[in-house]
């Protein structure tokens, strides 16, 4: 049986443990919500002060060139690319995940409907809502006979992807359950039926190894404010591989994607390469923070992060099942490593109230309908002792029924 001493021993041997010191986390908090908003790298404060005081305040408009503001989406994209199996010139950090998904879907539909007449988007009912909503908006407003087919389980994909499927749009790691798709096999399945595949990496980038080029993905988008620690609302990313860049055309044809933005021409001509995925002027202060999270990631490897992530999630599952065995908790996250992201979700009939009680005692996770308590594990700043302590607090809350089933519904985000 694992003890707290065992956990402390594992922390002492953990090669990633020193990285925790690069984050500012409040005392008395065990932060298990880095899957929703990553913790703040210490350098972000210094960087923000520099961008605001020096680049904006003193250098003013000259900073578009002298501070590299124009190139920032591409420069950060090149730094992010190795974490997801992309190449230089295949990623830009820009806009939001929702907006990038709109561009990627529209581009994929255009590539398909021009050549093959295919017009159906296949996705999951259990997808993060904005992904479905953006597809709905696109099919409604770019009214070209596009439609959406929702599946209820990954098992349905082989039967549902067919001759009318233009694009399969899936989230690699499910936000609610932590289920992880086999990217290579699923991409191959789509291709075998003549469809393209767009992956949402919101819960993957910086959390699990991703190899977009090797796994045959077509397009991808994702967040920087979750496991990449870019800051609240930090710009997202979009990946367009070299093989698709010439055919990639998207409807948000703003001047940042123009071949000659300062020619001020009255018509749009997309630039070559990944730049055509850009739209307009970027939130530079927020964008600059993304680099601070990437700096930490580049001090280790996705393999090391993954190994610790699986160790942390295995430990959490083991301890909850052993120490809270008398309570009605049910694991919804896959036990199989290959199918598990970097989170663990348990249902409890009073999940909302229990999570509110956990947060009141400094264990910050979150809650998702229906009845799901979600715990994110970020190997850069979560220790094995944190896992032990979080489970002990959970056990204590459950044993003493120290939660309020009438908890107000704004205690948990
Ligand atoms: C977090 C998340 C988003 C967030 O999109 P925003 O545009 O940043 O609000 C989108 N899709 C998935 C799958 C997510 O997990």
187 neighbors 157 (Cβ within 8 angstroms)? no
213 neighbors 85 (Cβ within 8 angstroms)? yes
Q: Whose CA is nearest to atom 10 of ligand 1?
A: 97
In the numeric block, the tokens 């120490």 are attached to: 323
Q: Residue 411's pLDDT is what? A: 57
Q: Considering only CA atoms, which of 354, 313, 351, 400 is closest in space to residue 32? A: 313
Q: What is the average per-residue pLDDT within 15-20? A: 98
Query: DSSP code of 19?
Result: G
Instruction: Looking at the CA of residue 171, tell me the nearest atom of ligand 1.
Output: 13
Rounded distance, CA 94 to CA 360, Å?
Answer: 35
Catalytic positions, written as ranges: 128, 200, 225-226, 374
Tokens of 71: 């190139």
Q: Residue 90's pLDDT is what? A: 99
Q: What is the average per-residue pLDDT within 220-238? A: 98
Query: 282 falls in which pLDDT band (50, 70, 90)?
Result: very high
163 neighbors 193 (Cβ within 8 angstroms)? yes
Residue 371, sorted as left (phi over 0), alpha (psi -120 to 50) or beta, turns out to be left
222 neighbors 172 (Cβ within 8 angstroms)? no
Q: Residue 12's pLDDT is what? A: 98
Rounded distance, CA 73 to CA 282, Å?
Answer: 8
By CB neighbour count within 10 A (0-12 exposed, 13-18 middle, 19+ buried), where does 280 fall?
exposed
Q: Whose CA is nearest to atom 2 of ligand 1?
A: 202
Query: Would you list which residues are annotated within the binding site for pyridoxal 5'-phosphate?
Result: 97-98, 128-131, 171, 200, 203, 225, 255, 281
Q: What is the average per-residue pLDDT within 231-248? A: 98
Rounded distance, CA 114 to CA 119, Å?
Answer: 10
Instruction: Looking at the CA of residue 100, tell me the nearest atom of ligand 1.
Output: 7
* Residue 129 CA to ligand 1 centre (angstroms): 8
Degrees, nearest 5: CA angle 371-329-35: 60
Of the two residues 182 and 144, the one the predictor is more confident about is: 182
Rounded distance, CA 200 to CA 238, Å?
Answer: 9
Could you give the residue ranges of the DSSP H alpha helices within 89-198? 97-115, 129-141, 157-160, 183-192
* Residue 302 CA to ligand 1 centre (angstroms): 21
* Residue 375 CA to ligand 1 centre (angstroms): 17
Query: Would you list which residues are annotated within the binding site?
Result: 97-98, 128-131, 171, 200, 203, 225, 255, 281
SS3 label, residue 109: helix
Instruction: Looking at the CA of residue 233, tell me the nearest atom of ligand 1.
Output: 8
Q: Residue 412's pLDDT is what? A: 62
Query: 413 falls in which pLDDT band (50, 70, 90)?
Result: low
135 neighbors 123 (Cβ within 8 angstroms)? yes
* Residue 179 CA to ligand 1 centre (angstroms): 16
How confident is the model over 256-269, as pLDDT tens digits? 999 999 999 999 99
Q: Whose CA is nearest to atom 13 of ligand 1?
A: 128
Report the residue among 98, 104, 130 best suited for mutation to probe ligand 1: largest number of ligand atoms under 8 A from its CB: 130
**172: pLDDT strictly greater than 80:** yes
How confident is the model over 367-407, as pLDDT tens digits? 999 999 999 999 999 999 999 999 999 999 999 999 999 87
Q: What is the average per-residue pLDDT within 180-189? A: 98
Rounded distance, CA 373 to CA 320, Å?
Answer: 12
Whole-number Cα distances in Å, 124 to 35, 71, 149, 169? 20, 35, 8, 8
How confident is the model over 51-63, as pLDDT tens digits? 999 999 999 999 9
Whole-number Cα distances in Å, 100 to 9, 61, 166, 240? 43, 27, 18, 11
Residues with CB under 6 A from ligand 1: 96-98, 128, 130-131, 171, 175, 200, 202-203, 223, 236
In the numeric block, the tokens 């041997």 are attached to: 13
CA dihedral 343, 232, 44, 75 (to 10 degrees): 90
Report the residue among 223, 345, 413 best suited for mutation to probe ligand 1: largest number of ligand atoms under 8 A from its CB: 223
* Residue 324 CA to ligand 1 centre (angstroms): 32
Q: Residue 409's pLDDT is what? A: 73
Contacts of 351 (CB under 8 A, 6+ apart): 367, 371, 372, 373
Total residues found in the chain within this entry: 413
Report the residue among 95, 123, 173, 175 best suited for mutation to probe ligand 1: largest number of ligand atoms under 8 A from its CB: 175
Instruction: Looking at the CA of residue 203, tell me the nearest atom of ligand 1.
Output: 15
How confident is the model over 80-126, as pLDDT tens digits? 999 999 999 999 999 999 999 999 999 999 999 777 889 999 999 99
* Residue 221 CA to ligand 1 centre (angstroms): 9
How confident is the model over 303-360, as pLDDT tens digits? 999 999 999 999 999 999 999 999 999 999 999 999 999 999 999 999 999 999 999 9
Query: What percent of the chain is predicted at pLDDT more than 90?
Result: 96
Q: Residue 2's pLDDT is what? A: 92
Whole-number Cα distances in Å, 110 to 166, 341, 372, 400? 9, 32, 38, 58
The alpha carbon of residue 374 and the mean position of all alpha carbons in its chain are separated, in whole angstroms, by: 15
How confident is the model over 114-169, as pLDDT tens digits? 778 899 999 999 999 999 999 999 999 998 999 999 999 999 999 999 999 999 99
In the numeric block, the tokens 């348990």 are attached to: 346
342 neighbors 377 (Cβ within 8 angstroms)? yes
């Amino acid at each position: 049986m694992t003890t707290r001493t065992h956990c402390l021993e594992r922390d002492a041997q953990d090669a990633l443990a020193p990285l925790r010191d690069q984050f500012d986390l409040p005392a008395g908090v065990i932060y298990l919500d880095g899957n929703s908003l990553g913790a703040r790298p210490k350098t972000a404060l210094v960087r923000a002060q520099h961008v605001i005081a020096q680049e904006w305040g003193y250098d003013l408009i000259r900073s578009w060139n002298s501070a590299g503001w124009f190139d920032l989406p591409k420069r950060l994209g090149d730094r992010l690319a190795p974490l997801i199996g992309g190449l230089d010139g295949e990623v830009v950090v820009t806009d939001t995940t929702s907006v990038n998904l709109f561009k990627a879907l529209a581009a994929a539909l255009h590539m398909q409907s021009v050549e093959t007449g295919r017009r159906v988007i296949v996705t999951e009912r259990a997808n993060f809502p904005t992904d479905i909503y953006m597809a709905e908006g696109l099919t409604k407003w770019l009214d070209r006979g596009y439609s959406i087919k929702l599946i209820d389980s990954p098992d349905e994909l082989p039967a549902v992807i067919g001759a009318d499927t233009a694009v399969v749009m899936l989230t690699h790691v499910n936000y609610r359950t932590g289920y992880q798709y086999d990217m290579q096999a699923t991409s191959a399945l789509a291709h075998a039926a003549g469809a393209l595949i767009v992956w949402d990496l919101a819960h993957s980038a910086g959390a699990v190894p991703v190899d977009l080029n090797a796994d045959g993905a077509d397009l991808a988008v994702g967040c920087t404010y979750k496991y990449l620690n870019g800051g609240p609302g930090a710009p997202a990313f979009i990946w367009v591989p070299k093989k698709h860049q010439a055919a990639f055309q998207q409807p948000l044809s703003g001047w940042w994607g123009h071949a000659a933005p300062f020619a001020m021409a009255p018509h749009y001509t997309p630039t070559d390469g990944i730049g055509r995925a850009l739209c307009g002027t970027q939130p530079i202060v927020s964008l600059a923070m993304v680099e601070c999270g990437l700096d930490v990631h580049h001090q280790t490897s996705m393999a090391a992060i993954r190994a610790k992530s699986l160790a942390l999630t295995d430990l959490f599952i083991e301890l909850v099942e052993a120490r809270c065995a008398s309570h009605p908790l049910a694991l919804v996250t896959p036990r199989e490593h290959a199918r598990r992201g970097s989170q663990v979700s348990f249902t409890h009939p009073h999940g909302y109230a229990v999570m509110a009680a956990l947060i009141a005692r400094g264990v910050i996770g979150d809650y998702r309908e229906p009845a799901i308590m979600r715990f994110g594990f970020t190997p850069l700043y979560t220790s094995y002792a944190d896992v032990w302590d979080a489970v002990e607090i959970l056990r204590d809350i459950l044993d003493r029924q120290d939660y309020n089933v009438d908890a107000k519904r704004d205690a948990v985000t």
